[in-house]
Amino acid sequence: MVSHSADAGHHEHHDDDHHELGFWRKYVFSTDHKVIGIQYGITGLLFLLFGFALMLVMRWQLAHPGTPMPYIGSFLGSLPVIKDHFPGGVMSADGYNEFGAMHGTIMVFFGIVPVAFAAFGNFAVPLQIGAPDMTFPRINMGSYWCFFISCIFMLVSFLVPGGAAKSGWTSYPPLSGIADSGVGFHQFFNGQTLWLTGMIFNITASLMGSVNFIATIIQLRAPGMTWMRMPFFVWTQFVTAFLLLLAFPPLEAAGIFQFMDRVFGTSFFMPTGLVVGQQLTHWSGGGSPLLWQHLFWFLAHPEVYVLILPGIGIIAEVVANNTRKPIYGYKAMVGAIFVLGFLSFIVWAHHMYMTGMGAKVAAFFQTTTIMISVPSVILITALLLSLWGGSIRFTVPMMFATAFLPMFGIGGLTGIPLAFNAVDMYLHDTYYIIGHFHYIVAPGTIFAIFAGVYYWFPKAAGRSMNDFLGRVHFWGSLISINGIFFPMFLQGMAGVHRRWYDGGGASLDQLTYQLAGPVLHWNKFMSYSAFLLALAQLPFIFNFFYSIFAGKRVDRNPWQSTTLEWDAPSPPPHGNFDRPVAVYRGPYEYSVPGAQSDFTPQSEVPEGKGNQAATVSAH
Amino acid sequence: MQIPYEVSSRPDTGLYNAKLGIWLFLASEVMLFGGLFSGYIFLRLGAEPGYWPHGLLNVPVGTMNTAVLILSSVTVVLAWAALKMRNWSQYRLYMLITIVCGVVFLGVKLSYEYPQKFTHFGVFIRKDSLVKYEAYLGNDFLKSRGLEPRVEISGHLLDAPKGSEYEGVAKRNAEHFTHVLHEEGVGGHGGGPVVQTEAADDFVIQLDPANARPTDPTNEHPSFLPKKQTMMTAVVKREDVESAGMFVPGHSPYFAIYFTITGLHGLHVLGGVIVFAYFFFFGGKLYKRNPEHFANRVEVAGLFWHFVDLVWIFVFPLFYLL
């Protein structure tokens, strides 16, 4: 076949696939890591939007309890099944629980992990280490389609009798064992059982992905790409993949246990003598609800670092590129994420102080939790110091990156009091917790995701995103997102509970909650901030699709970056590089004294190595 | 496009891709079974005295299955070695033995061990009624020996409360039981064991040896050879029963974890057998094209097989012996 492309070399060393792939193999059932990354990215972004929409409905209920949301309320009240939870367009308590549980599940497992880890990792990691693809391309494809099946399970669960899971994203038994069962519920097609099935598929997908990532990073680094020459983003993906590989299986075990409890009537998590509605339940008993919490948090704490580490990796890339200087303390940061990864496996029970597991156990987890703040502070400090003395370009990715630093800082610092058993007893399950972890994942990780989208979009599409719309998106998001989450700290410290579906009004009669009265008015402010945040996403959504077709065309290296992905054509062809790649230097050689330009790509052949230049073409 | 190091090893890591991949996968599997076994530990430590059964599984059969799996682990290595020496017919022989071993293991589990549990029945007696069934439980004796109490009466169900889901099973068992009684000439009208009662609310159970002779010291340790089902029966009133059921996963935490772990292990065995069967029947094509690549595949599948074997080495003592 005669090549029509400008990169004639591309076809020369591709003996295996001279034939053009058909549409289905090229864009749908593709084994190309870039296509899979984009598939993960678009699916994940859609789920982020969906999870956000669930929350908007909940925020209306919190601001105006008992009134139908304009337009949306009557729409939801007309949908099959969902209308059961929206009598007259007003959100019921069950509906609030349903949307809340699914918001958490979707944002964590179907939004952020797929985008931050699977999408960016799949797209950028092989490019950054100079690999032609992942080590196991077909398993990679299997990973996405396994994830896709899990998405279907989650979406379908909204439409089965009784609706989707309602037991919180943590699905604590015995509540989750009883929920969605009995009269009117299908034995298998009910919210909680579908949730479990979906999670088991999701975990399998993440297993296939993480094996692939680690093997790729170990095996397929280009000649000269030594460990300490890897971009920091690759390091974060490497550690993240290990966390997913080792922390997810215990949740899979727990999911299988709960599935058995629900479908086969076992008693893994059902205690002896469980009485529901003054009726002794049918379970034999002898199980332990605490076992679920241990297995769940054994995953879910490392999961927190799964959520944040890829974000920090993206920020490091963007900061180095836009300050035009090497990131400060590269080696210390690499060390820090390894310590972080290790420690994240021994802090899980700080989510369980309220279970009464005893002071000695609490003291142990309190200590490890405080220890883990050390590597976190190393990371944030190194990134902050990287700004010092740089000639900063405030591009759109860089604006998100600079906002990330203080936002992640707020999220991290508000977590330190929670590490202490005594303080946590008071703040547990209040809005303080909600504010804390949302500062980490929303203006933290999601801002990093936006930075990554703006940063790598030109590589994926061959066109850059619109700068002005990006700035509108940034400022709108930054201001409104703080309007949502900052008042949560005020509310939380006054004792506002995270599960009040009426915004707290009905609970004020109880003596315990009278402190909450003066801060409830923030509910309206937070909700309107959330609606503004939704508005602020419109420029992004428009920009994203508009730029795919009509953005400004770019060459290989629009950001004048040093790392290897900018050595490939934009967008890179199947197999990635149109010329052999080799690496001669570290990842962030910006503003090297005496160099011709302010960036020296990793692949640039050093002076005096001219003999290799014959095989490795320089810029 | 060719992915590097698919067949040959990368010099600095000394591994080809699939070998690294399978080790990573096995690391994840260790965590999966680690989670499952931690469930075992939690349930067993949390069980009230007497609620964790002992000696219910057939040790000789389990031992044989252990031997079968270990043999298959040896033959899979021999199959790989034969491939490395490019000896195709020897490879076929050893691979066949491996597959047969896997099938035997699964066959024993599915055709003998599981069905034997599903047809067994047990009732947990309420705490305040335990003393009524002292003849079958022997708790005074156990207490004097410093042993855990016995709270379950188990065996074959002969009569179930009217309208319960077990009536069909009970009827079949009762027919069989009276048939055997007749053959052996035990009892007759009057003196023989109770098979059915007039009361609508009774369980009648053909007793396991431990309930038939609760003070027999040989019950204190799991016996290697399974004891024969007795011809004694016991009548248990429904109001004395805390929970009752066939030996299915829902019966008790013990059977829940037993069926979950052995079931998932069985699925792993099945997966291995399918992969080996594929190599056995369809491996020739790749072997002719690239024998080293094919040997690598067998090696990687063999590593998985060893892991499955290793899991069984933990399962066997935990469930059969302890």
pLDDT at B37 over 80: yes
Contact A268 B46 (CB under 8 A): no
Partner-chain contact B47 A286, CB within 8 Å: yes
A121-140 residues touching B, CB cutoff 8 A = 131-137, 139
Do the chains contact at A295 and B32, CB–CB below 8 Å?
no
Domain residue ranges in chain B: 17-118+253-321, 121-244
Q: What is the pTM of this model?
A: 0.94
**Residue A388 φ then ψ, to 5°:** -60, 120
Kindly tell me if the per-residue pLDDT of B187 is higher than 80.
no
Q: Looking at the predicted structure, is the pLDDT value of residue A227 above 90?
A: yes
Q: Phi and psi (nearest 5°) for B242? A: -80, -50
Local confidence band at A19 (pLDDT 50, 70, 90 cut-offs): low
How far is the C-alpha of B268 from the C-alpha of B272, rounded, in Å? 6
8 Å CB contact of B243 and A294: no
| Candidate from B4, B245, B253 with C-beta closest to A220 | B4
Q: Is B28 on the interface with A (CB under 8 A)?
A: yes
CA dihedral B253, B267, A165, A347 (to 10 degrees): 70
* Interface check A280 vs B, CB under 8 A: no
Measured CA distances, B260 to A196, A287, A301 (Å) = 16, 14, 26
pLDDT at residue B295 is higher than 80: yes
Q: Of chain B residues 148-187, which have a CB less than 8 A from chain A?
A: none
Q: Residues of A numbered 36-95 whose beta carbons fall under 8 angstroms of chain B's beta carbons: which are they? A: none
Residue A351 has pLDDT above 80, yes or no: yes
Domains for chain A: give ranges and CATH numbers.
32-270 (1.20.210.10), 301-554 (1.20.210.10), 574-619 (no CATH)
Residue B228: the pLDDT is 81
3-state helix, strand, coil in chain A (%, to 5): 65, 0, 35
Using the beta-carbon criterion (under 8 Å), do B43 and A286 form an inter-chain contact?
A: yes
Best of A34, A216, A242, A284 to substitute, by most chain B Cβ atoms within 10 angstroms, is A284
B47 touching A (Cβ < 8 Å)? yes
Largest CA distance in chain A: 85
% residues pLDDT > 90 (chain A):
85
The reply to whether A288 touches chain B by the CB within 8 Å rule is yes
Across the range B251-266, mean pLDDT stands at 96
Give A581 to chain B, closest Cα distance, Å.
13
Question: How far is it, in rounded angstroms, from Cα B212 to Cα A109?
Answer: 54
Whole-number mean pLDDT of chain B? 92
B194 band by pLDDT with thresholds 50, 70 and 90: confident
| pLDDT for A6 beyond 50 | no
From the list A16, A134, A246, which residue is nearest B27 (CB)?
A246
Contacts of A318 (CB under 8 A, 6+ apart): A397, A398, A400, A401, A451, A452, A455
- Best of A11, A267, A281, A574 to disrupt the B interface (most B CBs within 10 Å) is A267
Q: Classify A423 as helix, strand or coil.
A: helix
Q: In this complex, do B249 and A266 lie within 8 Å of one another by their Cβ atoms?
A: yes
Residue A411, both tokens: 């999220």
C-beta atoms surrounding B170 within 10 Å: 23
- Predicted confidence at residue A507, as pLDDT, reads 76
Assess whether pLDDT exceeds 50 at residue A503.
Answer: yes
In chain B, what percentage of residues exceed pLDDT 90? Answer: 76
- From first CA to last CA, the distance across chain A in angstroms is 29
- Give the pLDDT of residue A358: 86
Query: What would the two tokens of residue A456 be?
Result: 């790598």
Residue B194 CB contacts under 8 Å (≥ 6 apart), including other chains:
B204, B233, B235
pLDDT at A616: 43
A260 close contact with B: CB closer than 8 A? yes
The predicted structure's pLDDT at residue A618: 37
Nearest CA in chain B to A293: B39
Eight-state DSSP code of residue A590:
B
For residue A343, is pLDDT > 90?
yes
Decide: helix, strand or coil at residue A609: coil
- ipTM score of the complex? 0.95
From chain B residues 108-147, the ones with a CB under 8 A of any chain A CB are: 124
**Span A456-502, pLDDT tens digits:** 999 999 999 999 999 999 999 999 999 999 999 999 999 999 999 98
Given an 8 Å threshold on Cβ–Cβ distance, is A249 in contact with B250?
A: no
Q: Report residue A7's pLDDT band, with 50, 70 and 90 as the boundaries.
A: very low
Contacts of A220 in chain B (CB under 8 A): 3-5
Confidence at residue A552, expressed as pLDDT on a 0 to 100 scale? 96
DSSP string, A39-79: HHHHHHHHHHHHHHHHHHHHHHHHHSTTSPPTTHHHHHTTS
CATH T-level topology, domain B17-118+253-321 = Four Helix Bundle (Hemerythrin (Met), subunit A) (1.20.120)
Alpha-carbon gap, residue B307 to B121, rounded angstroms = 34
Mean predicted confidence (pLDDT) in A135-160: 97
For chain B, say whether A202 makes contact (Cβ under 8 Å): no
What's A116's DSSP letter? I
Within 8 A by CB and 6+ apart from B203, the residues are: B123, B157, B159, B160, B161, B235, B236, B237, B238, B241, B244
In DSSP notation, B6-61 reads SSSPBTTTTB-HHHHHHHHHHHHHHHHHHHHHHHHHHHHHHSPTT-S--S-S-HHH
Query: Collapsing DSSP states into helix, strand and coil, what is residue A264?
Result: coil
Question: CA separation (Å) from A180 to A103, A263, A287, A297?
Answer: 18, 12, 20, 23
Q: Does A264 touch chain B (CB under 8 A)?
A: yes
Task: Read off the pLDDT of each residue in A243-250 and give the average, rounded to a whole number.
Answer: 96
Å between A459 CA and nearest CA of chain B? 20
Q: How many CB pairs below 8 A link A and B? A: 150
> What would the pLDDT profile of B109-150 be if each residue is shown by its tens digit?
999 999 999 999 999 999 999 999 999 999 999 999 888 999
Residue identified by tokens 């605490």 is A290
User: Is the CB of residue A618 less than 8 Å away from at least one CB of chain B?
Assistant: no
Q: How distant is the Cα of A444 from the closest Cα of chain B, in angstroms?
A: 29
Closest to B253 measured CA to CA, from A268, A389, A484: A268
Task: Say whether residue A222 is in contact with chain B using an 8 A CB cutoff.
Answer: no
Q: Is A387 on the interface with B (CB under 8 A)?
A: no
Question: Residue B16: which residues within 8 A CB-CB, separation 6 or more?
Answer: B5, B6, B7, B8, B9, B10, B296
The answer to whether the Cβ–Cβ distance between A247 and B31 falls below 8 Å is yes
Identify which of A401, A416, A424 has the alpha carbon closest to the alpha carbon of residue A371: A416
- What is the number of alpha carbons within 13 Å of residue A443 lying toward its C-beta? 30
Give the DSSP H or E segment for A260: helix A232-263
* Nearest C-alpha neighbor of A283 from the set B129, B255, B265, B237: B255
Q: Is A551 left (phi over 0), alpha (psi -120 to 50) or beta?
A: beta
- In sequence order, what are the residues at sequence separation of 6 or more whose Cβ sits closer than 8 angstroms to the Cβ of residue B159? B170, B174, B195, B196, B197, B202, B203, B204
Q: Cβ of A308: how many Cβ atoms within 10 Å?
A: 25
For an interface test with A, the pick among B42, B52, B258 (most A C-beta atoms closer than 10 Å) comes out as B42
SS (HEC) of A299-348: HHHHHHHHHHHHHHHHHHHHHHHHHCCCCCCHHHHHHHHHHHHHHHHHCH
Helix residue ranges, H only, B129-220: 134-137, 139-144, 167-184, 209-212
Burial class of residue A71 (count of CB atoms within 10 Å of its CB; 0-12, 13-18, 19+): exposed
For residue A223, CA distances in Å to A450, A506, A612, B14 come to 32, 66, 12, 16
Task: Give CA–CA dist A563/A129, Å, rounded.
Answer: 9
Inform me whether the C-beta atom of residue A272 falls under 8 Å from chain B C-beta atoms: yes
Q: Which of B7, B13, B15, B24 to mutate to test the interface with A (most CBs of A within 10 A)?
A: B24
Cβ contact, residue pair A250, B32, below 8 Å: yes
Check CB contact under 8 Å for A294 and B38: yes
Interface contact B29-A249, CB threshold 8 A: yes
Q: Which of B9, B31, B262 to mutate to test the interface with A (most CBs of A within 10 A)?
A: B31
Query: Taking CB atoms and an 8 Å limit, are A249 and B1 in contact across chains?
Result: no
Q: How far apart are CA A238 and CA A125, in angstroms?
A: 9
Q: Which of A38, A66, A48, A61 shows the shortest CA–CA distance to A111?
A: A48
Each residue of A378-403: pLDDT tens digit?
Answer: 999 999 999 999 999 999 999 999 99
Q: Is the peptide bond before A174 cis (omega within 30 degrees of 0)?
A: yes
Residue B194 vs residue A142, higher pLDDT: A142
Do the beta carbons of residue A336 and residue A266 sit within 8 Å? Answer: no
User: Are the Cβ atoms of A260 and B256 closer than 8 angstroms?
Assistant: yes
Contacts of A210 in chain B (CB under 8 A): 24, 28
Q: What are the CA-CA distances from residue A468 to residues A14, A464, A474, A478, A552 (Å)?
A: 41, 12, 10, 15, 13
Taken in order A280, A284, A290, A294, the sign of the CA dihedral is negative
Q: Which two tokens stand for residue A362?
A: 């609490």
- Judge whether A235 and A331 are in contact, CB under 8 Å: no
Which residue, A322, A466, A489, A467, is CA-closest to A404?
A: A322
Instruction: Name the minimum distance, in Å, from the CA of A608 to any CA of chain B.
Output: 26
Whether residue B249 and residue A257 make contact (CB cut-off 8 A), yes or no, is: no
Secondary structure string (H, E, C) spanning B107-150:
HHHHHHHHHHHHCCEEEEECHHHHHHHHHHHCHHHHHHCCCCCC
Average pLDDT over residues A144-170: 96
pLDDT bucket at B193, cuts 50 / 70 / 90: confident
Q: What is the pLDDT of residue A2?
A: 38
Tell which of A135, A239, A296 to mutate to test the B interface (max B CBs under 10 Å): A135
To the nearest whole number, what is the mean pLDDT of chain A? 92
A430, HSE (Cβ side, Cα atoms, 13 Å)? 24
A73 vs B55 pLDDT, higher one? A73
Instruction: Encode pLDDT of A34-89 as tens digits.
Output: 999 999 999 999 999 999 999 999 999 999 999 999 999 999 999 999 999 999 99
**Chain centroid to CA A181: how far?**
31
Does pLDDT of A3 surpass 80?
no
Burial class for B306, CB neighbours closer than 10 Å (0-12, 13-18, 19+): middle
Closest-approach residue (CA) in chain A for B245:
A284
B-chain residues within 8 Å CB-CB of A288?
Answer: 42-43, 46
**With 50 as the cut, is the pLDDT of residue B235 above it?**
yes
